[in-house]
């Protein structure tokens, strides 16, 4: 088994391997329109560009080319092994090589998995952290999972992300760091001198400021800034979002996604924003993923000065949060019954169930409703004493969590989860714990990890997050 880099005259060989594999395997999993979408996506011009840039490899068995793989930043793409050579170790050899290439620069590897390959990637210790869907021709839907694998030493210590107030010193540091050519290529800077940057910062401190920014810290280390500008509650959108992680070693670790999620909650609460927009270049895949993971929807793609750009927007309907400690609340009971109906769980004695919630004493919930009174969802939690003869710890246990179907994908789940974790921190609780067999990807995306060797009484897996 050998791995070699593809040469400029070998793009058609890559195309032939891809086409043969798709035509042989994919019809077992996808409708005809989706199969054709894959064939069109891996076009010869796309492949020729990747080969020219030195990002495509072959795997050889007995001197014969039997498979191919490509990398794009920290993402593995276009991994295909000829149908008659699958199961011979060729795919594993290719993946091992591509992972090692990426780990020379990054701490994480990502891959968008087709349905036939999910189990293969799971065996290689990839974890799904986002489920995506793509609109194929004739209304057909292409579902796929974005999966991630961390370098072992990076996974052992995941930096905690926090946001802090900007200062004049941080402005000076940011101005110098953001002059990196790799950053200027995706985020041109308005201020041309440090004095201009400081003057812009001073304007944000004025009572009627139309911009608001914070610094991003990972593991207590300053690595970037995040801000919104053009704040106007009477316009649509009410503000625009921008962010920059200038520490390139912190790229592709999910830090930007987490920072944006926390910032949106703060900014929308501070200014009562109903919508927020964001621009990014179309080839800036990192920023696109951060926005899409945080509920931003693509509104427009356009060309400006010869370069494709995208405009995203996230709208948040006005909503109201009610903290519940008395579970005789009719509104909470209605929401909880809708939740159980969706799960297909029947309850003979509803009154007894809600009475038991109250008698347990420590249960709390946050109930979210829309401006017109419709139930959006709720999260229910309680402190949980974990004790043994040697130690004890109070964990925050998330008991029940539900968002109504029509409100999913709008950031409500992330917001309620963040509020609950903040409540745990206020109470001096350092660990959040939960079980789920329906929303693993959501929790993985928000920093929860499977607890090896631990399972709930109903056999559901347990997930833990250190706060």
Query: 161, 159, 189: which is closest to 177 by C-alpha?
Result: 189
In the chain (467 residues long), the average pLDDT of successive 10-residue segments reads 90 95 90 88 91 93 93 91 91 92 83 83 80 71 79 60 92 93 88 94 92 91 95 89 92 86 84 89 88 82 89 77 88 92 90 92 90 88 84 91 86 83 88 88 84 80 89
Provide the 8-state DSSP code for 158. Answer: P
Parallel, antiparallel or unpaired: strands 392-403 and 431-435: parallel
Q: Is-above-0.85 flag for pTM?
A: no
Position 155 scores a pLDDT of 53
Distances (CA, A) of 11 to 6, 61, 262: 8, 19, 44
Domains defined for the chain, CATH in brackets: 2-153 (3.40.630.30), 161-315 (3.40.630.30), 319-466 (3.40.630.30)
Position 447 scores a pLDDT of 83
User: CB of 107 within 8 A of CB of 154?
Assistant: yes
Residues in CB range of 372: below 8 A, 6 or more apart: none
Position 321 scores a pLDDT of 82
Q: What are the two backbone dihedrals, phi and then psi, of residue 182, each rounded to the nearest 5 degrees?
A: -65, -30
Position 122 scores a pLDDT of 84
Query: 466, 458, 409: which is closest to 436 by C-alpha?
Result: 458
Rounded to a whole number of angstroms, the CA Rg of the chain reads: 25
- CA 286 to CA 252: how far, in whole Å? 7
Burial of 394 (0-12, 13-18, 19+ CB in 10 A): middle
DSSP 340-396: HHHHT---S-HHHHHHHHHHH---EEEEEEETTS-EEEEEEEEEEEEE-SS-EEEEE
Position 432 scores a pLDDT of 94
Position 158 scores a pLDDT of 57
Q: Please provide the size of the chain in residues.
A: 467
Instruction: Please name the residue ranges forming H helices in 67-136.
Output: 90-103, 118-123
């Amino acid at each position: 088994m050998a791995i070699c880099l593809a040469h400029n005259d070998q793009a058609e060989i890559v195309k032939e391997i891809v086409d043969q594999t798709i035509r042989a395997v994919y019809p077992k999993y996808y409708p005809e329109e989706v199969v054709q979408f894959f064939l069109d996506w891996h076009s010869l011009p796309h492949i020729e560009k990747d080969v020219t840039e030195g990002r495509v490899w072959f795997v050889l068995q007995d001197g014969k080319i039997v498979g191919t793989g490509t990398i794009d930043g920290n993402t593995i793409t276009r991994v295909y092994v000829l149908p008659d050579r699958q199961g011979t170790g060729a795919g594993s050899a290719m993946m091992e090589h591509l992972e090692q290439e990426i780990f020379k620069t990054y701490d994480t590897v990502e891959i968008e998995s087709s349905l036939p390959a999910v189990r293969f990637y799971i065996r290689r210790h990839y974890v799904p952290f986002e489920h995506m869907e793509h609109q194929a021709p004739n209304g057909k839907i292409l579902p796929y999972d974005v999966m991630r694998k961390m370098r072992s030493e990076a996974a052992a210590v995941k930096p905690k992300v926090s946001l802090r107030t900007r200062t004049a010193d941080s402005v000076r540091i940011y101005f110098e760091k953001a002059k990196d050519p790799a950053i200027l290529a995706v985020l041109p800077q308005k201020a041309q001198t440090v004095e201009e940057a400081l003057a812009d910062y001073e304007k944000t401190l004025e009572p009627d400021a139309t911009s608001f920014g914070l610094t991003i810290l990972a593991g207590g280390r300053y690595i970037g800034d995040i801000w919104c500008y053009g704040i106007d509650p009477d316009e649509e959108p009410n503000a625009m979002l921008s962010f920059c992680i200038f520490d390139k070693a912190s790229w592709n670790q999910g830090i930007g996604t987490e920072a944006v999620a926390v910032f949106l909650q703060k900014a929308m609460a501070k200014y009562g924003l109903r919508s927020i927009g964001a621009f990014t270049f179309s080839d800036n895949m990192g920023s696109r993923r951060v926005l899409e993971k945080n509920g931003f929807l693509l509104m427009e793609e356009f060309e400006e000065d010869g370069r494709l750009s995208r405009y995203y927007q996230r709208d948040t309907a006005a909503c109201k949060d009610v903290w519940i400690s008395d579970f005789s609340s009719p509104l909470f009971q209605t929401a909880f019954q809708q939740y159980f109906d969706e799960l297909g769980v029947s309850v003979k004695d509803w009154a007894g169930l809600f009475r038991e919630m109250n008698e347990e004493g420590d249960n709390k919930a946050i109930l979210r409703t829309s401006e017109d009174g419709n139930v959006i969802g709720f999260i229910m939690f309680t402190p949980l004493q974990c004790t043994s003869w040697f130690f004890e710890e109070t964990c925050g246990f998330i008991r029940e969590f539900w968002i109504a179907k029509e409100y999913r994908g709008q950031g409500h789940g992330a917001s309620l989860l963040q509020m609950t974790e903040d409540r745990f921190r206020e109470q001096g609780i350092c660990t959040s714990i939960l079980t789920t067999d329906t929303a693993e990807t959501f929790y993985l995306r928000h920093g929860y990890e499977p607890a090896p060797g631990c399972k709930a009484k109903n056999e559901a897996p347990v997930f833990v997050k250190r706060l």
